[in-house]
């Protein structure tokens, strides 16, 4: 158990180190690419994910109006799995459970009971690494909630690492090796649940060096770097 928690701490420390390297860069990105995507970082290698497609800070990636739907975390670099899940809240009535995954920390679901169980399910397997929970008018405590993985027997006695960002925000890291389709958050003393984000990870392939064994037709239309340019748009080419 200590090994698992230590691994999570090391992973979190590495994340902080990477962020420091990114944020301390003095070089800035002054233009967008041909698909109107904005970038930031030392060599413009990180893609902006700001709400309403607003450009982020070219040095540290901060978004002036928050992250785009489906993204969260430092510089909005983490894809959100919670957005694709089905949520069910029991043991405590709520106004609208969809407010928990709408990407807006100012909209919250009210808990009227003394405790709650939030069931998060997917139609296919996901690999869980960490989540972020933000509550409204209550202070989170380590005892305020617990996390379970009902369809993964090997995690029944798993102790996850809780890192409190502030009094109302907590990041939870669990070192599990098997995929899951079902997560349960059990809690008490929480009055409102405002936001839940579940990390799908970061795309570390963006702007990396690529090579290929052969090229179809003429470059630059079919070069390997197009696979890591951050765009899913297709180039329509008229061939003779």
Q: What's the DSSP call for residue 1?
A: -
Tell me if 98 sits within 8 A of 222, measured CB to CB.
no
pLDDT at res. 28: 60
pLDDT at res. 21: 41
d(CA 165, CA 41): 24
Give the tens place of pLDDT for each residue, 155-177. Answer: 566 778 999 999 899 999 998 88
Helix, strand and coil percent figures for the chain, each rounded to 5: 20, 30, 50
Residue stretches of the chain with pLDDT short of 50:
1-26, 235-240
* C-alpha distances in Å from residue 212, one per residue of 157, 208, 227, 228, 231: 46, 13, 11, 13, 19
Taken in order 216, 220, 221, 222, the sign of the CA dihedral is positive
pLDDT at res. 32: 65
pLDDT at res. 132: 95
Give the tens place of pLDDT for each residue, 56-93. Answer: 998 899 999 899 999 999 999 999 999 999 998 876 55
pLDDT at res. 143: 74
Side by side, the strands of the sheet bearing 180-188 are 86-90, 115-126, 180-188, 145-148
């Amino acid at each position: 158990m200590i090994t698992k928690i230590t691994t999570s701490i090391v992973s979190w420390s590495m994340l902080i180190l990477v962020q420091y390297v990114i944020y301390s860069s003095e070089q800035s990105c002054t233009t967008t690419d041909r698909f109107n995507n904005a970038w930031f970082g030392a060599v413009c290698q990180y893609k902006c994910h700001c709400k309403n497609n607003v450009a982020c800070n070219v040095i540290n990636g901060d978004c002036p109006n928050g992250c785009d739907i489906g993204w969260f975390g430092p510089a909005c670099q983490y894809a959100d799995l919670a957005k694709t899940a089905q949520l069910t809240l029991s043991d405590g009535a709520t106004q609208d459970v969809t407010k928990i995954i709408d990407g807006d920390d100012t909209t919250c679901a009210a808990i009227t009971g003394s405790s709650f169980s939030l069931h998060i399910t997917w139609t296919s397997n996901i690999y869980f690494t960490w989540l972020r929970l933000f509550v409204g008018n209550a202070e989170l405590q380590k005892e305020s909630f617990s996390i379970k993985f009902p369809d993964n027997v090997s995690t029944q006695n798993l102790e996850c690492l809780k890192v409190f960002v502030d009094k109302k925000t907590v990041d939870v890291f669990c070192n599990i090796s098997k995929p899951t389709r079902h997560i349960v958050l059990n809690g008490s003393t929480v009055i409102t649940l405002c936001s839940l984000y579940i990390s799908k990870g970061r795309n570390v392939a963006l702007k990396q060096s690529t090579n290929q064994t052969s090229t179809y037709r003429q470059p630059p239309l079919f070069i390997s770097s197009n696979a890591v340019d951050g765009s899913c748009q297709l180039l329509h080419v008229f061939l003779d």
